Structures are given as structure tokens and as C-alpha cells.
Structure 1
Amino acid sequence: MAEVTVSQLAEVVGAPVDRLLGQMKQAGLTHTQAEQIVSDDDKQTLLAFLKSSHGETVDAPKKITLKRKTLSTLKTSSSQGKKTVSVEVRKKRTYVKRDPQELLAEEQAKNAGSEKSEQELAAEKAAAEEAAAKAAAEAKAEAEKAAAAAKAAAPAEEILDKSKMDPEVLRQMAAAKRQEKEAKDRELQAAALAAKRAEEERQQAGAETAKKSEEKKAKPTRLHAEPDADKDERVSKKKGGPKAKELAVKKRGKNRGHNIRDIDMDGEGNMRGRRKQKILKLPEGAKQHGFSAPTEKKTIEVAIPEAILVSELAQKMHVKASEVIKKLMGMGVMATINQSLDQDTAQLVVEELGHIAKLVSGDEVEEALEIELGQQEGTMAPRAPVVTVMGHVDHGKTSLLDYIRKTGVAGGEAGGITQHIGAYHVETDHGMISFLDTPGHAAFTAMRARGAKSTDIVILVVAADDGVMPQTEEAIKHARAAEVPIIVAVNKIDKEAADLDRVKNELAAKDVIPEDWGGDVQFVPVSAHTGEGVDALLEAILLQAELLELQAATDIPGSGIVIESRLDKGRGSVASVLVQAGTLRQGDIVLAGHHYGRVRAMNDENGQPIKEAGPSIPVEILGLDGTPDAGDSFMVLENEKKAREVTLFRQAKDREDKLKRQQAAKLENMFANMGSDEVRTLNIVIKADVRGSLEAIQASLLDLGNEEVKVNIITGGVGGITETDVTLALTSNAVVFGFNVRADNKARQVVENEGIDLRYYSIIYDLIDDVKQALSGMLSPEMREEINGTAEVRDVFTSPKFGQIAGCMVIEGTLIRSNPIRVLRDDVVIYEGELESLRRFKDDVNEVRNGMECGIGVKNYTDVKPGDKIEVYEVKEYARTL
């Protein structure tokens, strides 16, 4: 270190030069001037003096107290508004530096072995007593010495004038007094501690001497807490020993209501870790079980679906949700506990937390259900054919079935038109046949498609006097798509206008070739009125069924398809189903679409109760918790828990899909309507008697409309019109339609009080036509221009009252004074305006016909020239239709 002067050293340490020279003089240095050089030795001498004067001696304080104060603010909200509160946190911590000799003595006492001879115990006792006596004598001598020094110094302090003394000397005197007091306190504490320790050692030595023989028999490696009477006699009470530690642990365990069974000890008799297990106290002889805590992290295989909540993911990994959220934040994803994660993000989180991610399909429940049903194998047996009757409206489909069943179903239908699918099974002389009757109206396309998919044979009914019609072509397409054979029944052959060859020609053009023409389609002429050819039709059906070799297992749980469903006021949900495989029994748990339930009752198509139904048998079942959609598959499950699980999964999946479609529709509509006028909407609430009719009505209404008007179905359901439906229509300004259903008393009261438009229908034609007229009335009218007359300017005159007057000859139509005009020059419009005056000679007239001369004054236009044409027109409004 380089040598410096006194002034430079004073500047470095931040003290005045005079004060530093005074301290150097007190330290015994010879420096008196600020320019004198201070060597390294001089610095060390000065530093030693300052340390001694500031109390840094051998008896320096060994206790340090640190205080810490932090200030912060907290924002709170109350009824009076937001407030800011200042929070002050004070912390105090004391560090004590213990005497190394004292620590060494305690450590030696702890590590001392439990087996000592009587000589060693006596020697320790004597040494402890000697040390206590010596410490007491030393403390007494030091106390007397300090008292004498204080007494000798007292007169000197009394005669000193402290106001005239150097402040540094006063500070050193105060430090010396403080040191003396602290030394006296430490001596007294050491004496008391030594006396207490000697007494404890004496008591422990006596106990050790009395029980030494039994301690030698005990092994130090493992202690067992057994429920015998003398267990406490075999445990050492020596302070610091392993047995005393065991007793302390046992005592803590008893306070908690437990008993410590095992404590690991090392070779020297010390405990080697924390307690391993805790069990309840049991009677003697009872079996005891223990639990070992895991020592290493467990890796879990986590199944991750396509979407999973943060809380569910944390639960599967057996961690807190906060850990998952923290990991997501580290990945840059801000998520809450109820937020949904996609499969890729969830996989990264699982792998980051050290677990194994297993990706599963979102349709895992459905796939597991399909696998379970696919494993059902039964004994195959022949079954009856399922025949679907299809064709154009009013071609005699239901009438043909009526003759076969000997009933009058068509007479009970509204307008003679079938509104929903009917299912029947008929016992004929040739065997049993199940029939499905589908509507022929254009709105029931989906029903015909379902009928074709759930059938074995399609009977295409074509009227011999009408030929092939649009729904006939549609039925052919459905049958081809379902890949089922077709049998053509040419109905109404008893009429005079019947032409069988015409029907064959028209069907051949649609690729339906008759057998007598070299094709594979059977043509059977029938008459639903007289019954002619019906037996031949049944034989053709059974012949085709034999070729198909239809079979199904009957000894497995039933499964099939939902034909129709409705709400019955007295019976609840009623579903018409067709059993396609297995046997459906009363009491089975049935899963149908998004609904499930136990079959409480089962009826045939005639309403008669039955206990079971086999393949190809249509039945009505009661007991479902809702009305499934027509066309949904149904199956029998073994327990209600499985059915509920699948139902909840399907409902959640349907809600997610619906939400996605709504979001996509909103975006599409937002961009499509951007910059265009607002689309006018007709809100409708629909209630129908059965699901199939409701579906057909909704599909037909949604097809109506254009870019200006559209139909918005607020809600649609099965069953009567309730007060809730009417209230919903009131809030949404909608029209209520009831198809083969009626409103209850409360709903009718709301309709009368609020003036809601409620309409009943039994024929789908009328409903669709009324909605189409309503939409047409909402269309803005079409504006068309019509030219009433044209006049040619022959000459131009000047009038002092009207200005320029064009002398014209009407060459076409009639000029009307109140209509707007256009001025054309060389067949180009140069002005649009209105007439200011129209005169014939000196008279004002309202109109001038073709071939007459007149004078025309054009308002606010003075550039009319001979040869121009003046065209009179008007704009008319025409109502538009869809």
C-alpha cells in the first residue's frame, strides 16, 4: 500500500485533520503536522488503538440484534370508494455467538456412549463439580475486582468536569463502563449455567448406576415399543443419549394419539432420520399395519382427450391446479382453472411435469360402445323382411297398406296425406312382413332417406294414371343410395286412364328396368281399391327376401332404429322403434340418441301391450327421459350408469358442435352482411305431434327465403303448446305454429291477453304456403318505370310569363301533367324534371292524347330545341313473391 500524508488519510476516512492528529497522539504516534507521512505500521498502530477504544477486545459483545422496517401500500375498496393504506412491517432478529468451549462440551455430552464404567461416571461427576466450583470462585473474584475498580474510579469521576473534557475521551470512558457491566453479567450467567449442569449430571449419573446391568442387555440398533409393563425400565433417561431421544419422540407421538413403532439407529446408537411410521394404539395381540411414505416421484400415464379443463388435467396428474397454471404461464399461455386446453398444449404440460401423455380420441366413449356391441355374438336365425313403401304423394301408398292390413289408416290422415312414418307388421299366408309407410310430400325427404336406410326391400308405388313424378325420382335415388332392391307396384290399374306401358317406359328412362324387358326389377300391377294383384305383390316380397337370406341373432340385447317419437300427455315420452337385432324386453335399459331410460311399457302398432319383441318387429316403448330424434339408433345396455355416461357425453359433444356452428355462422353472416341492408327475419315457434313431422317442417321452412328475407326458428319441440312457448314467442316477436297439437288453457290466456299470432295446422301444405305468403309480404316491392307518352318538339316560343314554351306534337301515348318527364336529344337523356305547364291553345289541360298538338313548359330548363323529344313516365310498385 502506498504511503500517504495525514491530510490525505483524513480525507479518505472522512474525518477532520485535527481530530485524526489527536487520535494519533493518543495512540502514541509522533505526528503533529498534516503534511507528515503516515506509514503502514503507523496505520496498523492507529487501527489497533481505535479498535481497543471502541470496545473490540477479547470480551467484545457476542449478541447482535438486527432490525428491519419495510413500507408498502395496499389498495382496498369499501362503500366509500377505493382507499390506499400504508402498511409498515417491522422485523427483529437476534444472533448470539456462543462460547466454543461450551458448544464443544455439549457436543461431547451428546456423543458420549451410553455404556460407561462407574469410574468414568465418577470422574465426570467430580470434574463437573470441580468446574462448577472453579467457575463460581472466578465469578466471585471478578465481581469483587470490578466492584473495587468502580469504587476507586467513583471519586475521580466526581471531581472531573465533563464539560471541559474531550468528547472522544468521554466516549471511551462510557465504553469501558459498558464493557465492565457486560463482563459481570456474562460471569454470573456462566456460574448459574455451570451449577445447573452439574446438578443434572449428578442426577443422571445416579440413574445410570442403578440401571447399568439392564442397559447392557439391550441392543442399540433397533428399539421396539412393545406393550409390556417394564418397557420404561429398558430405556435410558440420560440427557443427550439415543434412548432419551426415543422417549421424546414417543412422547410427541402419544400427544398426537399415535404410537411410534420403529426408529432407525446408526451403529453408535444415534437416530438416523425422522420417524418412519405412525399407527394407532391397538390392544395386545392385535395385528398392526404400517404405511411407508414414497421415497421417489411417481410417473403417471395421463389420458388427454381433444379438449380438457385445467382443473381436470391437474386432478389426473395429482397436482394442484396452481402448478399447471404456473407451467402454462412459463410457456406463454395465460389460462384460468376453468379454461379448456387443446390436446397439444395439454400434452406439453404433462411432459413438462415429468409424466407420460396418452392421447385419446374425443369419441373414445362411442368407440368403446361400438367395440362392446361388436363383441356381442349370438345364434343367427332367419328373420322377417322390413319393407318400406315409397312414392309420390297421392299415388296410393297408404291405401295399399290399408288393404293388406285390412284397416283404414288413410282415412284418418289429414287430407288423406301421411304426415309421418308408420310401422306395421303383418302376418300373411306366406309369412310375416314388417312395413314402413313414408310420406310422399316433398318436405319429407329426410324421412324417405331414413326409411330407405332402415329397410331390406323398397316398394316403389307409381300411379298407373299419373306416371313418374318428382318424389318418385327422389325415392329411386334413396333406394339406390341405400343399395336395397326395388319392387315396383303399379297402382290404380282399375282406372280407365291407367297406362302400364307408359309407367314402364318412364321408369326405364330412370334406369329401373322391368324383368320382362331384361332387367332385375319386378313390376306388379295392383289395385288398392279392388285388391287386384296384392297377393302377387306379397309373393314378390317374400321371394326377394328369400334371395337376400335375411338373418339376425335373437339371444343378444336388442338394438335397432328409432322410427318416430312424440310426447303423450298421459304417458310421457313415447318412441316408435324398429328392432333390427336381438330381443327387446320390458325393463331393459335403453340408450336412444341423446336420451336413455328403462322400458316401463311396450306396445305393438295396435296399442296392445307385449313383453318382448324380436328382430323386424316395430314397437312403441315408454320410459325414456326425452324424445329422441327420428333416425337415431337405439341399443340395450347392461346398467343405467353406462347409459347415463354415454348420454352426458353425447349431449356435451352436441353442445360443443352447436356452439362452433353458431360462431361460424356469426362470422359468415358478419362478412356477408357487411355493406348490405339488414335482412328481414320472420321468427317462428313450432310445436308438432311427432319428431319426424317437426324435422320435415323445420327443413322446409329454412329452405324458404332469399337474400332479403329469411325464416328464423326460435324453438321447435314435440308436444302441446305451453305457456313457456307463448312467452318465448312474445319476447322474440314470433308467430306460434301448432302442427296437430293445441295450446293449453294458460297458453291460450296469454295469447288472448297479448294478441300473439297463434295458428293451427294439420296439413303441411297449408303451413308452408302461409309462411311463404308472409315472407313475400316482407319483401320490398319492385319498382318499375312505365312510359305514358312521348312528344316531339317542333318549335320553341318565348312567353313573358312562363319563359320558353316548346310547341310539341304527341307522337306516342298520352302526356299527363302530374308525371315526371325526361328531355331526350338524339335519344340521349339530357334532363330529368317535371312539367311547369301543359296547354292546348290557351287552355290548361291535364293530359294530351296521341296525335294532338300542345305547348309544354319545362320547369327550370331553358335549353329545349326543335327536334328534341319530351318523354312522360311514371314509377309503379309491384309486389314480389318468393
Structure 2
Amino acid sequence: MSQNNTIRQLAELVNTPVDKLLEQLKEAGMPFDSADQEVTSAQKVKLLGFLRRTHGRGESAAAPAGTEPASGKITLSRSSRKQELTVGGGKNKATVDVVVRKKVVLKPGASDGASTRPMTDERAEILRKLEESKQRNLDEQQRLAATDRARAEERQRKEEEVRLAAEEARLAAEAAASEVATQVAEAESETKPTRAPAKPGTHGHAAHPHPPKPARPGGQDDARNAGNAKHKTRGSHVMVAGVEDDDNAARFAGKLHLSAADRARRTTTTSRNKPRHSRSSDQSRTGGGEHGFQRPTAPVVREVTVGDAITVSDLAQKLALKGGDVVKALFKMGVMATVTQSIDHDTAVLVVEELGHKAVRPSDSDAETELLAQVEDAGQQGELAQRPPVVTIMGHVDHGKTSLLDYIRRTKVATGEAGGITQHIGAYHVKTAKGTISFLDTPGHAAFTSMRSRGAKLTDIVVLVVAADDGVMPQTIEAVQHARAAKVPLIIAINKMDKSDADPMRVKNELLAQEVVAEDFGGETQMVELSAKSGQGVDELLDAILLQSEVLELKAVPDGRASGTVIESALDKGRGPVATVLVQRGILRKGDYLVCGVQYGRVRALFNETGEQVAEAGPSIPVQVLGLSGVPDAGDDFVVVADERLAKDVAQQREAKRRESRLIKQAGNRMEDVMAQMGQGASQQVLNLVVKADVHGSMEALRESLSGLSNDQIRITVIGSGVGGITESDAQLAATSKAALIGFNVRADASARKIIDANGVDLRYFSIIYDVIDQVKQIASGVLGKEIREDIIGTAEVQQVFRHSKFGSIAGSIVVEGVIRRGKPVRVLRDDTVIFTGDLDSLRRFQENVDEVKHGTECGIGVKGYDQVRAGDKIECFERVEVQRTL
């Protein structure tokens, strides 16, 4: 038997009902509440002794303890279940057992003769062994009880030692805190007047209503009272008499930094004997306590910061809502967007207000503000000085722009251009005897409109080259409009004067239609006649440029941090990102940190237009910059900053803003737009392109030109574009989207070629923009396929109808238009309405079969499968032709 047993287990061991055993334990002075409670060895011994003393006292309760029962009677009980009875019916049906209990009392001298049986040796031996077993059990139970008592005493002793050590530490901490409080009180009493004495017995507080607590063991109360006696004689911070009796005050004695609210929060209001969870459960039910939850009485209105664009998931997070709730609100407003899509500022504001919140604009970023402050400080420093003029050469294709610049620079630039045309902006500065001039050479093709516009905005003077033998052309008019929009003065260079058919007067008259009046006609525009081939009039052009620059009084700060604009950018395989920039103020030096659009970096090297490395570049000087983190966009401004941290922060913030703007789905997110696209999706074909170019300007021009070829039949989409060679990712994009890959002055690397060959991607290389547009038109025509067109080749009018035994009805007709041919399909028209369409069965002239009958000739026509032809009907002969669809 184990050391401790439950009452239920003990009842099973001694074969006694649980209720009876509980009653016996209660009579023995050990009341138990449940049958699952444990009974120790000592309690078992106590119960055994009680049962021995009370055995046989049913009739003689006054018998002395320790004597044997006088009656000597034996009571036997027996119970048996006879049957089962069913009570009630339906759901209340129950089964009841019928038990019969019988009790038999045997007394000495009964008729059974049990007590008169003689005591045998065998019976005496059994009784002796039984007594020995009972004695061994009793000794074992007593030993176990003694062990339990020893363990309990040891545990109590250890707990008492731990409690005494904690109490000593607490008293020491209180004594130290009291000493500090005493010093503070003495210091304050020296500097402040003494307060008025409180009433006797109160000390400024109400008397404590609780009786004094009983003394604690170990002399703790004596030490506490001694401490209280010391406190009563101290200054203004002394612990008030009577309050020490409160357990809470004693608990926080010496903790002067706690306020009343903190003490109330840290003090438990339940007794030490109650479970610890009762206080927290009460507070959770009532909402009390400092950290208790309180239901808001009004809806929470949040201020949501919304920029130019925001994704639906980010907006839902700021609103503390599920993404699906925001999507539902957008759908109710007629906007179809997923959780990952981005919406613009106006749509986000409407959704926020619809959901009951307030939308606010984000404040300016700290990095941009710091950058603006540095730029303003740099702009206020330094004195203005004369700077060289920036001149942009513009004009129509093949009018001699680059040849003129070539003659000025004494180099052969035009011979290196593909197809003899300029396809990106070239930047040069030329030192002449009359001063330094910076030139920007822009392309003249129609696709490079944005490049010409960018050149006009960067320049001080526009030189418009017009061929004397060709006159004013579309790009000439466009250049005039760009210069006028940029408010830049024009100088007209009438080129190709060495040709025999040169007519400068024609050029001047045609420019009058564009409101460009020459000085000869009383206007303000200088016009110089020259020849880029022979050099005639080139000096007069330079004089006109310098004269115009003096009139403009061009000045800039020649020192300090540089700032300017990106003219062109490219990705060089050996040198990395390369940007051609035009310095507009300050000096750009090697080692400067600069931020350029969404890119940043440190200037590793500077090169001029001839490829020579230079140490610095001043105002109006174009240079190539190495060291940027990526390829910037042409037209981006650059600024030199103090350190790399600021440049990186500004670039990252700009990139994040640009990415948000790029994710905005301006088209296709409204339901009416989706319906419109569904309507035309069946008929409109799609051609996807991936375009890679050598410089950013060419890539931009190609993307705009190719996208502009779209019409109702086909939509041309540039799904990917970039600067530099064709990489593996470009080839993979073209393969997955089934797009054609176009390389403009770039080539594919080895890994890209493997993917292109494996997937059969259509890759085409180009160096002239004319060829790109022509080839894309051919590709688009192949995507469009062929269409079947019906051409009417002749019409005959029925004069009379004849009946033939073999051919049926024969229409005697005369050809009034075109020609009627055998084997072609025909239509029968009555009152200009088609009533039958079929084939020509027979065509006869008199009695002979003929292949065709021309205009004004009579013939007999048999229509296959139709014999209802009447006089006055028209027979229309036509043919079906396959035509290739083109743009």
C-alpha cells in the first residue's frame, strides 16, 4: 500500500462503502469533504485506533474504553437484488433496482452452536498469525506517520528561514530609505518655514480605524515598532503615526517616489488566503484597473496620410481594416482594384471619407527639405560672372545640322552617324577666337520630338538650320514651336548655299508663315546664309551667336557646388552608367557626391566630348560623369550635396514616389472601362515588344514612336525597355510574354542568346530608326493576318427570260458595267435588294459558251440553283480577294 491514499481507494482496500468511511472519519474527528481527498498514514492510524475503541458499542456506549464488548453479539448484514422495475414512460422512463437487505444477530448460546465449538490448535495458530500481521501493519503505519511528520517539520523550518531572510532584507531597505528621507527632510527644514502643528493625535490625517495587528514571530514587530519610533521624530517626510498599522503603507514604506495611484494599483485588495486570480478576474469583469479595457463610446476617427498614390493593402493597414473591406468600398464606388493594386490620391481620399475617417496630405520629406536648404544656401553664395552660351542646333532631317557642327569643330562627326542622321543629343564645347560656345546637336527625325524639346529647354540660343534647296519642312516648324515655347531666341542658318538650286528668299518667305520675320524684312530674327560643306558664312554665324549672347547677358556663379541637367545617359559595359550632363552653375569636380533624379553616387571620373579626362567642369560645359548608381533619365536635374547619406536618402525617397506613381492604374480600373475593353478585345490584336537601346534618348523615342502605331485593329505595347545590351532577363521577358525583341545599336549576350534560340524569340537588330518603324509595321501586318474582300467586277441587266429543257431559266441580259466571267459567284438583285447569292452556271453568247462578256454586249446567263429570275432584275458578278492587313 502506498504512503497516502484517497478515501475512495482506502474504501476499496478495506471493502467498506465510501459514505460509511466518510462517516467514520468524521466520528474520529477528521471531517473530509470529498472522496478524492488524501488520507495520511497518521490519519489511518488514528482511524484504526478509533475503530478499535468503539467496536461493539452499539448497545453499551458507556463501557470503558479499552475493554472488550460485554454483549459478545455478532451482527451480519446481507443484501441481494431481486428484480428491476420500470417507472414512467417516454423521455421520463427510468429503471429502478429492488434490493432486499437482511440483518442477522448472533448471540452467545445461540442455537447454531458456533460459540460452543472447541478451540482447536489450528484455529489458535491462525488467530495468532492474524494478530502478528495486524501488529506489523500498525508498526509500519506508525513509522510512515513519523516520517511524514519529520518531512513536514523540515519543510516548515526552511520556509521560515527564507521568510526571515526576506524580512531582514526588507527591514534593511526600509532603514536605508528612511535614512535618505531623513536627510531630505532636514535639508528642506533648513530652507522652508516650519508648518503649523497639526491637531493632537491626528498628525494631519484621520486616525486609522483598524485595530493593531497581532505580533509577528521572531521579534519582527519589535523591530518595526522601533523603526516607527524613529520615524515619528523626523521632519516633514516622516511616516504618519497610525498609518504604519496599515499593511499597504507598511508594504510601500520608504518608497517615496510612488504616487497614491501607483500605490493603489500595486496594492492587492484581497486577503492573502484568497486565490491571486480573483483580483484580475474582478477587474476584467468590471473594466477597472489602469490597464483594464474600456469600450469606446464613439467611433474612432483616424487621420490617414495619403500621398500621390497608395496601394489598397497599405490603405487598409492605415485604416485598421481588412483589405477586403476597402476593396468592397472601392467596388461600391465603381472602382475595380485588387489588394495589391495602387490607387491615386483622389480615389484614396474618397474611400477614406466614405469609411468615416479623415485623409491628410503627407508633409514634405526631411531629405528633400534638407536638399532644398543646401541648394538655396549655395545659390546665395558667390558672385555672378559671364558664362559661355549654350546653343542648340535644330532642324529637319538631312538639312546639314551635324555637318555644320562638324565644320565648326574641325572633326568628322557626321560620317560616324548611322545612315547619316543624328539619333541622340550630342554635346560639345568649342573654343573659337571670339569665345567659347557650347553646342547641343539634336536629331531631326519625327520620333525625337521629346529630345528636341529637352534641348530647347536647356539652351540659351536656338540655331535653326534650313536647307536652301528644300525649304521649311515639318520638323522645321516643330523646332520653331519648341523654341517659342521655351522663350529662346532664334538664329536661322540657311544652309547648302553652294548648291545651284539654292533659294534663300523662298526660305525667308516660308518662315513668314510661321511668324519668323528676318531682319531684312524688318523683324528681329537673324538669318545667316552659309554652306557647311565649304565653310561659307560660318564665321558670320559665330558672330551672330556671340552677339546674341551679349544681348542676353548670360551669367552664372562660377564656384561652389555644381548643379545642372542630364543631357543623355547610357550604360557602358566596361564603365557602367554614364551620364552626359550640362553644368549650369558652380564647378563639378572629381570626388563630389551628387544626386541625379532617382540615382546617386560619387563622381569617379569626368570626360569631355573628345574622351579626354578632365578634373572639373564649370558653367555651360558638358561633360560625361562616371560613378552613378544607375542610368538616370535624360532631362533629370543633378545637384552636388555635402555627403553620401543625404544623396542616398533623397534618391530612395524619389524612387519610392516614382514607383507609387508608376503603379497607378489610370485606365482599366473603372467598370465602364473594363466593359469597353471587353467589347473590343475580340477584334483587336495585341503586339508586345521589348526594346533595348544604346542611350536613353533613343529608347524613349522608340517607345513613343512604336506605341503610336496602335489603331483599332492592333495595339502595340512596349512591355519592357531599357538602356544597354540585351540581357538574360530581357530574353526571358520576351519569351514568357511572346513579344518581339528589338535591339537598337545593342547586342544580346551569350546567356540571352541561349534563351532566344531555345524559345524561338523574334530578335531583330537595328541602327536606323526608319528601319525600326518599317519592320514593326511589317510584324504588325503579319499579326493582323489577311482579310477576304469582295470586289464587284461587272453587272448585267435582265431583258427577257427563256426556258431551256436542260439549263432551266436562261436570263437574256446585257452587260451594263464591267465584265461577267464564267466561274465567278453572282448575286441576283431585285429593286436593288439582294434576293439570291450563288454561282454562275452557264454563260453563252448566241449558241456558244464563252468565258467572259464585256460591257455593252448581250448574253445569256444561267444562275445555278435559281430559276426565279425576272425581267428587270440585275445580276452582279463579283470575286473574292485576300488582302494583307496593314497599319
Output the CA distance in 2 between the equivalents of 1:782 and 1:323. Answer: 55
Distance 1:364 1:313, change over 3 A: farther
* Residue 429 (1) aligns with residue 433 (2): yes
Q: CA deviation at 1:716?
A: 1.0
Q: CA deviation at 1:744?
A: 1.8
Query: What residue in structure 2 maps to residue 373 of structure 1?
Result: 375
Match of 1:360 among 359, 362, 365: 362
Equivalent residue of 1:660, what SS? coil
* Residue 695 (1) aligns with residue 697 (2): no
Please tell me whether the aligned partners of residues 807 and 855 of structure 1 are also in contact (alpha carbons under 8 angstroms).
yes
* Residue 471 (1) aligns with residue 484 (2): no
* Residue 734 (1) aligns with residue 725 (2): no
Which AA in structure 2 matches 1:653?
A: K
Output the CA distance in 2 between the equivalents of 1:359 and 1:830. Answer: 69
Please tell me whether the aligned partners of residues 822 and 870 of structure 1 are also in contact (alpha carbons under 8 angstroms).
yes
Please tell me whether the aligned partners of residues 567 and 718 of structure 1 are also in contact (alpha carbons under 8 angstroms).
yes
Output the CA distance in 2 between the equivalents of 1:781 and 1:236. Answer: 108
Q: CA deviation at 1:540?
A: 1.4
Q: Which of 612-621 and 810-819 deviates more?
A: 810-819
Output the CA distance in 2 between the equivalents of 1:322 and 1:456. Answer: 49
Please tell me whether the aligned partners of residues 304 and 346 of structure 1 are also in contact (alpha carbons under 8 angstroms).
no
Which AA in structure 1 matches 2:768?
A: I
Question: How many residue pairs are counted as aligned between the two chains?
Answer: 652
Distance 1:237 1:455, change over 3 A: closer
Output the CA distance in 1 between the equivalents of 2:726 and 2:835. Answer: 63
TM-score (norm 1): 0.64
Match of 2:451 among 440, 447, 450: 447
Query: What residue in structure 2 maps to residue 554 of structure 1?
Result: 558
Q: CA deviation at 1:547?
A: 1.3
Query: What residue in structure 2 maps to residue 189 of structure 1?
Result: none
Match of 2:626 among 575, 600, 622: 622
Distance 1:497 1:261, change over 3 A: same
Q: CA deviation at 1:381?
A: 2.0
Map 1:110-189 → 2, pairs under 5 A: none
Q: CA deviation at 1:481?
A: 0.0
Query: What residue in structure 1 maps to residue 270 of structure 2?
Result: none
Distance 1:835 1:489, change over 3 A: closer
Q: Which of 515-524 and 838-847 deviates more?
A: 838-847
Query: What residue in structure 1 maps to residue 387 of structure 2?
Result: 383
Distance 1:587 1:500, change over 3 A: same
Distance 1:853 1:312, change over 3 A: closer
Equivalent residue of 1:710, what SS? strand
Query: What residue in structure 2 maps to residue 609 of structure 1?
Result: 613
Query: What residue in structure 1 maps to residue 3 of structure 2?
Result: none
Which AA in structure 2 matches 1:532?
A: Q
Distance 1:206 1:810, change over 3 A: closer
How big is each residue's C-alpha offset from its partner over 1:803-843, in whole Å with a ceiling of 9 and x where there is no partner? Answer: 32334455555432211223344665443332333345555
Match of 1:407 among 411, 421, 430: 411
* Residue 865 (1) aligns with residue 870 (2): yes
Output the CA distance in 1 between the equivalents of 2:312 and 2:786. Answer: 56
* Residue 569 (1) aligns with residue 573 (2): yes
Please tell me whether the aligned partners of residues 568 and 697 of structure 2 are also in contact (alpha carbons under 8 angstroms).
yes
Map 1:310-329 → 2, pairs under 5 A: 324-325=320-321
Query: What residue in structure 2 maps to residue 216 of structure 1?
Result: 229
Match of 2:510 among 496, 502, 506: 506
Output the CA distance in 2 between the equivalents of 1:845 and 1:727. Answer: 62
Query: What residue in structure 2 maps to residue 416 of structure 1?
Result: 420
Please tell me whether the aligned partners of residues 836 and 856 of structure 1 are also in contact (alpha carbons under 8 angstroms).
yes
Distance 1:545 1:833, change over 3 A: same
TM-score (norm 2): 0.64
Q: CA deviation at 1:359?
A: 4.4
Match of 2:719 among 711, 714, 738: 714
Q: CA deviation at 1:683?
A: 2.0
Output the CA distance in 1 between the equivalents of 2:738 and 2:260. Answer: 85
Query: What residue in structure 2 maps to residue 115 of structure 1?
Result: none
Which AA in structure 2 matches 1:697?
A: L
Query: What residue in structure 2 maps to residue 82 of structure 1?
Result: none
Match of 1:759 among 750, 760, 764: 764
Output the CA distance in 2 between the equivalents of 1:822 and 1:389. Answer: 63
Equivalent residue of 1:674, what SS? helix
Output the CA distance in 1 between the equivalents of 2:329 and 2:547. Answer: 67
Q: CA deviation at 1:672?
A: 4.4
Output the CA distance in 1 between the equivalents of 2:232 and 2:355. Answer: 51
Distance 1:413 1:670, change over 3 A: farther
Please tell me whether the aligned partners of residues 483 and 490 of structure 2 are also in contact (alpha carbons under 8 angstroms).
yes
Unaligned ranges ≥5, structure 2:
1-30, 35-56, 63-70, 76-159, 161-212, 268-289, 295-300, 331-336
- RMSD in angstroms over aligned alpha carbons? 5.0
Please tell me whether the aligned partners of residues 787 and 883 of structure 2 are also in contact (alpha carbons under 8 angstroms).
yes
Please tell me whether the aligned partners of residues 367 and 646 of structure 2 are also in contact (alpha carbons under 8 angstroms).
no
Q: CA deviation at 1:344?
A: 7.7
Query: What residue in structure 2 maps to residue 136 of structure 1?
Result: none
Distance 1:812 1:715, change over 3 A: closer
Equivalent residue of 2:606, what SS? strand
Q: CA deviation at 1:603?
A: 1.3
Q: CA deviation at 1:688?
A: 0.7
Q: CA deviation at 1:794?
A: 4.1
Equivalent residue of 1:445, what SS? helix
Equivalent residue of 2:706, what SS? helix
Map 1:481-496 → 2, pairs under 5 A: 481-496=485-500
* Residue 723 (1) aligns with residue 728 (2): yes
Distance 1:211 1:588, change over 3 A: closer
Query: What residue in structure 1 maps to residue 781 of structure 2?
Result: 776
Distance 1:209 1:505, change over 3 A: closer
Map 1:249-264 → 2, pairs under 5 A: 262=257
Equivalent residue of 1:478, what SS? helix
How big is each residue's C-alpha offset from its partner over 1:649-707, in whole Å with a ceiling of 9 and x where there is no partner? Answer: 22222222222246547864641451564311222221110000111111111111321
Match of 2:538 among 526, 534, 540: 534
Query: What residue in structure 2 maps to residue 582 of structure 1?
Result: 586
Output the CA distance in 2 between the equivalents of 1:491 and 1:833. Answer: 66
How big is each residue's C-alpha offset from its partner over 1:716-758, in whole Å with a ceiling of 9 and x where there is no partner? Answer: 1111122322232222222221111112223334434444322
Equivalent residue of 2:485, what SS? helix
Query: What residue in structure 2 maps to residue 245 of structure 1?
Result: 251
Please tell me whether the aligned partners of residues 587 and 618 of structure 2 are also in contact (alpha carbons under 8 angstroms).
yes
Distance 1:643 1:531, change over 3 A: same
Output the CA distance in 1 between the equivalents of 2:310 and 2:851. Answer: 81
Q: Which of 358-367 and 586-595 deviates more?
A: 358-367
Distance 1:483 1:864, change over 3 A: same
Equivalent residue of 1:374, what SS? helix
Q: CA deviation at 1:644?
A: 2.6
Query: What residue in structure 1 maps to residue 523 of structure 2?
Result: 519
Please tell me whether the aligned partners of residues 223 and 262 of structure 1 are also in contact (alpha carbons under 8 angstroms).
no
Please tell me whether the aligned partners of residues 222 and 265 of structure 1 are also in contact (alpha carbons under 8 angstroms).
no
Q: CA deviation at 1:216?
A: 2.0
Output the CA distance in 1 between the equivalents of 2:224 and 2:514. Answer: 115
Please tell me whether the aligned partners of residues 599 and 628 of structure 2 are also in contact (alpha carbons under 8 angstroms).
yes
How big is each residue's C-alpha offset from its partner over 1:614-663, in whole Å with a ceiling of 9 and x where there is no partner? Answer: 21111111111211111111112223333233222222222222222465
Output the CA distance in 1 between the equivalents of 2:797 and 2:840. Answer: 15
Equivalent residue of 1:447, what SS? helix
Please tell me whether the aligned partners of residues 828 and 876 of structure 2 are also in contact (alpha carbons under 8 angstroms).
yes
How big is each residue's C-alpha offset from its partner over 1:482-534, in whole Å with a ceiling of 9 and x where there is no partner? Answer: 00111111112222222222221111221111123211111122221222222
Output the CA distance in 1 between the equivalents of 2:707 and 2:836. Answer: 47
Output the CA distance in 1 between the equivalents of 2:465 and 2:399. Answer: 7
Equivalent residue of 1:657, what SS? helix
